[in-house]
Every structure is written in structure tokens, then in C-alpha cells.
Structure 1
């Protein structure tokens, strides 16, 4: 008897096509003893797109596709509180990951998969991974590790064990018993979230999670951040392997880059995507693929959009700050720098020469924690020599800018100013609260 493997996707109309292609890739890569049940949560998906999903199981008794309609009005406002820049399309529908235990109430476990994935091999081994005592099994986010734990440090995860929520094996039965949905929603409402769902999932599920091998969620952005030598070292591979052989060896490719292979003609990934697209229900719709060079122009447009998002966040922070006026607030000079592990061993530009900034500067030097290549302040003339003007950021070579200002609203204002005036990648600008 074939083993039934339950797989769930969440999509809106924007991601209906790549989600459909991902399902096609799973079907074509299934083992002889696999029977696949796909559960597709659809938020404002057209009837035409839903029909394409249903057509995938025609003439195949081992495949079932279940369409579940969901409405995300309750999450629209909550989604707007996400602190990350919208470089990648992540809709508020992603928050339905929190509700999977109740939506799929009759299932004991399920593999959750993002729509921007390609499944290259059978999911049988993943589905049978032991999760008896945990809520989730997932792959560590490789970009978090490459960039020094910048994501994990924000939610208190053990260094380098911050998982990517694009592929997860979920123990739905245990999550229901332990009322995990309520905990996730509470965290999402009351705590800082830089990503739509991923921070909350990591913060809440960290005590009962299992780490999966990278092969179950190979993020395409890895090949943007590491060359072949770096990949071989990072994943402990045979040094004779080629990049093409390595990509072909993984079970699930997660197309995490802003350069989506159905929009841009990307080496390796577009060819693999088109292999499944050309046998999908969308095969008669020609894709007008852009040159990868067009990414630069498109990223600039996203950057402008991101600045507007940050401005809205700043306005909200200012309103919250006004509500606190008149209350007794403790001296925050002793607050720990939450990004301490992120900056370790890196080249840092320090912004702020006040009392807090001087304490951080002294602590870094005393402990030889990282290399301060620049110390600047807008009011640099008020200090002695050694404090430069912010314009020097244009000349300095650094990995991160660390803003040492205690007032969180002012720190956010400075972050916005530096990003706009000096075109610094916002993810490289840290405050003592991030």
C-alpha cells in the first residue's frame, strides 16, 4: 500500500502560477510508493487558477488536490506591522501558517512548502522524519548563518539555529494539544517582527524544534552569497563536485532571491523552473523573461517603496513614544546591545558618540570584539578629535553600521536618514534594539 504524504501550500493569485509549478515538480519527482495529498489554501485566487490546481490530479489515482478557501482580512492590518523591507513578495496570507493546526484539523502532520520552491526528489524521507516530541522540523536559514546570525539574534534563537519557514514538517497534533496557534498570534501581535511569519515561528517554536539537513530547503540566495569553494566548505561537500551537480542533488530548491526565475532569466534556476513549467497547466502561456541586469532597476523601485514603509513605521513609533510621555521611564543606559553576536569579528561603523556610544566603543575595544573602522556622529564638532561626520560613511568600508542611540524613535529616524542619504543597505544598519 502506498504511503500518503500530506503537503500544504498557501497562495494568493500572485503566486498561483509558481505554486502550481511547484506541485507539478513534486508529482514528477514522487517515488513509486508515494501517494500525494496536496492541500492548497487559496486567498483571493481566481476560479481559473483554482481549476488549474484541480486539473493536476486528473488521471492519477495517487494524487489528490484539495482547495481550501481562506480570507485574510483579520491579518491585513497585522501584516503592516512587519518591520522588514518588502524586497520579496510575502503577502499577509503567509500568516495562515499559524492556523494550520485548526485548518487541517484531521491531519496529524503535514509538510508545509512555500510556492516558490521546486521539489526534485521524493518527499518520503522528509515526511517520515521523527517529530514525535517536537512541533516542527526545519532547515537552518543559510543566509542568517552567512551573515553572522543577524536574524537569529533578533528573536533570541541559539546562534545559527534560526530556521527558514519556507519548508517545515509540522506536528499538527502536538501543536493543537499545546495550543501553539494562540502563542504564535500573541507573539505576532505583541512583539517585534521583521519577517511576516518567520520571526514568530522561530521565537515560539524554538524550544521544540528539530534541525533538518540543508537538502530539504536549499535557498537560491546561497549561490549569490557564496562561490563554489565557499559552498563546498559550508556544506562539507566533495571538492570535485560542480555547482550544477550540487544544485541537482538537493531535494527542494527554495527560490528565495528577488530574482525569480519566472521573471528573470537566471542561470541554472530558470532552466530547472522551465522544465516543470512546460509540463504544467500554464505551459501555453509564454513567459517574457527579463535580463538579470534588469534586477538593478527593479531593486531601485523596491528600495523607494521600502523607504516609504520605513517612514510609516517611524510615524507609528513616534505615536507610541508620545503615549509614554509623562511616565517614569528607567534609565536605559544599561540596555544590552541585542546584535552583539552579529557584529562579532566584523568591520563596524559606529554611529553615536554619546554616553551609550562611548560605553559600547570602550567595550568593543576592551574585548577585541570587532574592528571599528569609523566612529561618527551628526554633532561630531561637539566632541573631541576622533569622531567623524556621517558623510565619511561614503568612504569607509564596513560590514555593518551600529547606531548606539538609546531612544528607539530617534535611532529609527537616524536609520532612515542613513539609508536615504548614503544608500546603505537597510539590513546593514543595526540599532541596539535589533
Structure 2
């Protein structure tokens, strides 16, 4: 592999193929020079139809390399996540799957690229660090017991494993694949792979700014002041300007832009989705309305108790909550004031 190029890798199985293909499309479409980046797709247990679809997709791009894999027997019994497939554990095998790469940028499938990745990452020097990644405020601040403390680690800075610039050379030299697998076999962890990386890398991390791994709805759990203090980044005080600088959007929550109508995020997703082989399949999106706390307060004053509970925000610190549109419709049927209906119509028109 050429040293003057950025090597990126995605891992997918049958269930996550569509969003992963869309994420790859967003990556290559934002490159100013296609040859500046090689994209490796590790495809696990795909059907024959999906293999054909992938083959047709990569013919449009000379820089995408597909590695078809079957489920590893060593991963049996390691499934401790209700929403993440064991395919994610192939991250542990990257030093062997890509034996000539000294480093690689790993990317989850639930992301969208908003900038030229090569232009951003070409200036990052890993040195002797295992990884460059972003601290995960959701895990560090919202858990009653810090995960690394629970695991018995001596360090406390915990990173998100959805976007990682990995030092494969160092991982090979130190037998890290075996260490990660041993951790997964014998330690009780909350996340499919994230706890393992954080424990085994022992805090040897180069931390990246939040614009490189913008947790779209994870950041809604905190105020701008809390985020700015935690990340030492004042960009959070001007979210609109920050969106202009975001490199990678990461939908690390149940709110996925291919399942819900999420304003700017779904619009960006559809922009790239239309360039994939899936473009003939119309997405069935659920409407979600952003309700600020003032309108929330007004609605709650006249809502029955059973519906008031549905409007409770997950965090009092959040500036918005997400309410399924079908619930709003049922609410309007019960109270039926013209003013409320007008508010709902106006919100829907902004989606």
C-alpha cells in the first residue's frame, strides 16, 4: 500500500450494508483526488445478491477494495450487545487483514463524511500512540460508574471506537490482536469492541477534536458550556458554524437518518444514498419533530397524564427532544385546538 495515501476501512454484515455503502459514497464523493485514499470494505457473511450489488458498486470507483469474510469461530459467545453485530470484532483482526499497512482509519457504517478525509488526516502524526480518536463524553459523563474504573483500568480517558486512526504497526509488534480477543473472552464489557480497545490501549491515545467524530444526538445530552469545557473547544457555542467544519457525522444512537426524518442529517444522507445501487428503493422514514422546551411546557399543561409522560425529555439539559410524529398526531386528535395544529404543521414543514 502506498505511504502517501490514506487507508480507510469499513466493516459490515448483511444488516448494515446499505448505510455502509452510503457512508463509503460520502467519503469518495468528498475526495478532491480519488487516488489519495484507498477504501477497504470488510464484508462479513453477505448473501450472493449483496455480493453482486457490491461488485457493481465498486466498479464505479477505482479506490475501493472488498475483502469478503465468513464469521470467525473465535467470536462465538462474544455477543453482548443488542444493537451491534459481532462483525464489529473484525476490528481486532485489522493488523492481520491489512498486513502491509502501518496505519488505517477505521470508520463505523453509521457515519457520513462531510469533508475531504485525506486533507484532514494527512497532517496527523500518530507517533508511538496506539490510536488517534475522540473522547466519548456520553460514556465518561453519563455512566454512574466510569467504565474503565469498572474494568479495573488505571487510566480514565475513554474514547469512541467508531472513528479511529489505528497504529497497525504498533499493534502487530505488541500482539494486540491476541490481547483484544483475550479481553473479550474473559472480561465483562458493556460494548461490543469499545471497552476492549480502551482497556488494552491503556490510555496511549492521541485525542482528536469533536468535529472529526461529531456525535449527532449524543451531544444533545449536554449544554454548550459542558461540551466546550469537556473538549476544550468553544465551537459548541455556535453550532451552525460548527456544522460547517464537521468532518464526520456519527449517528451513534437509535436516531438513524435512514430510519427517521432528521432535517439536515437525512437530507445529507439522501444526497449520497441517491448515488448508491440502492437508489431505486425509497426509504420509509418516520417523522420526528424537534420540540423546544417552551412549546413542550405549553403542550404538557393541557395533555392527559398518559401523553405527558411520552413528552418527558431524556435529559433536562437538552435543548430539544425527539417525539415520533405519529404520537403528535394522536395528541392533536385528543385536544384539537387550532393553535396547536398550526404549530405542528409549521414544525412538519421544516423537516
Give your verdict on TM over 0.5.
yes
Q: Which residue of 1 aligns with 2:131?
A: 136
Candidates 108, 111, 135, aligned match of 2:105: 111
Superposition CA RMSD, Å: 2.6
Q: Which residue of 2 aligns with 1:409?
A: none
1:186 match: secondary structure: helix
Separation (CA, whole Å) in 1 of partners of 2:282 and 2:141: 36
Structure 2 residues not aligned, in runs of 5+: 290-314, 316-351
Q: Which residue of 1 aligns with 2:201?
A: 205
Distance 1:108 1:283, change over 3 A: same
Distance 1:228 1:271, change over 3 A: farther
Distance 1:53 1:142, change over 3 A: farther
What is the aligned length? Answer: 286
Separation (CA, whole Å) in 2 of partners of 1:53 and 1:244: 35
Separation (CA, whole Å) in 2 of partners of 1:117 and 1:269: 10
Q: Which residue of 1 aligns with 2:31?
A: 30
Once structures 1 and 2 are overlaid, which stretch shifts more, 211-220 or 2-11? 2-11
Distance 1:60 1:40, change over 3 A: closer
Distance 1:234 1:201, change over 3 A: closer
Aligned-pair distance for 1:132? 2.8
Alpha-carbon contact 1:141-1:162 (below 8 Å) kept: yes
Given the two structures, how large is their TM-score scaled by the length of structure 1?
Answer: 0.60
Separation (CA, whole Å) in 2 of partners of 1:248 and 1:117: 16
Alpha-carbon contact 2:236-2:242 (below 8 Å) kept: no
Alpha-carbon contact 1:126-1:216 (below 8 Å) kept: no
Task: Pick the structure with greater CA Rg.
Answer: 1
Aligned-pair distance for 1:2? 10
Distance 1:43 1:66, change over 3 A: closer
Aligned-pair distance for 1:195? 0.8
Alpha-carbon contact 1:155-1:202 (below 8 Å) kept: no
Aligned-pair distance for 1:288? 0.5
Q: Which residue of 1 aligns with 2:94?
A: 100
Aligned-pair distance for 1:103? 1.4
Higher RCO (CA-CA < 8 Å; seq separation 6+): 2
Superposed CA deviations along residues 340-392 of structure 1, whole A, max 9, x for unmatched, are xxxxxxxxxxxxxxxxxxxxxxxxxxxxxxxxxxxxxxxxxxxxxxxxxxxxx
Q: Which residue of 2 aligns with 1:41?
A: 42
Separation (CA, whole Å) in 1 of partners of 2:235 and 2:183: 42
Q: Which residue of 2 aligns with 1:275?
A: 271
Question: Is structure 2 residue 118 aligned with structure 1 residue 121?
Answer: no
Structure 1 residues not aligned, in runs of 5+: 294-398, 400-434
Given the two structures, how large is their TM-score scaled by the length of structure 2?
Answer: 0.73
Separation (CA, whole Å) in 2 of partners of 1:127 and 1:157: 32
